Structure formats: C-alpha cells, structure tokens
Amino acid sequence: MNQWLTLCSVDQILPACGVCALAGDQQVALFRPYADEQIFALSNIDPFAQASVLSRGIIAEHQGELWVASPLKKQHFRLTDGVCMEDEQYSVPAYEVRVQNGNVEINTASLQSVAG
C-alpha cells in the first residue's frame, strides 16, 4: 500500500529551480523544470563530492531529456531516474512524487526501497 508524505506546496518551488526537502531522515532534491505541476525527486547527495547539493544544480535539457548538473563537479543526473550521464555507477536514487491539491507528496515506499 502506498503511503504519501507531504513535503511542501508546489508554489514553494519556483519554475526552473530545485529545493531541498527532508523526507524522514533523507534529503530529497525536488525539481520543477516548468511553470506546470511536473515535479521530479532525486537524492540531494552528490555521489562524486559526497555533499548535499544537487537541489542547487542547474536544470538542463539534453537529447530530449531533463537533467540536473551538480553545482560542484558538474556531472549530470537525469531527473526521471537519477542516472549519471558521465558514469552510471554514480547514479543517484530517484523517488516517486506527485502533486495533490497543490502539495508535493513523496511515496514513502520509494524512500524505503532505496534506504533498505
């Protein structure tokens, strides 16, 4: 059974930006590429620098897909699944999110499957 945890209002994420949210004990980077309600969620931890910075990265489109470039070492992580463009062994967890009644919610089962 899916359980959903509210993280923030969709309006708290400016279009073309990311924010960091705490979901349990995990830092989640939430990205809103456009002015609509499409939201993506990845781990906020940059695996190359071991730093909590991905939410501060720049959203870019490459070959028809959306990516975030880490603000530290500039590796790119695909927003849909967290795959690292430069080296797939450094991919980051991606989480299932939705917008319900203007609120961004994360599927807690997707958090547990990554943590466990």
With the CA atoms of 102, 91, 49 and 44 taken in that order, what torsion angle do they form, in degrees rounded to the nearest 10?
Answer: 10
Task: Give pLDDT, residue 39.
Answer: 98
- Average pLDDT over the chain, rounded to an integer: 94
Q: Encode pLDDT of 86-113 as tens digits.
A: 999 999 999 999 999 999 999 999 887 6
Residue 112: per-residue pLDDT: 79
CA torsion angle 18 21 27 28 (round to 10):
-50
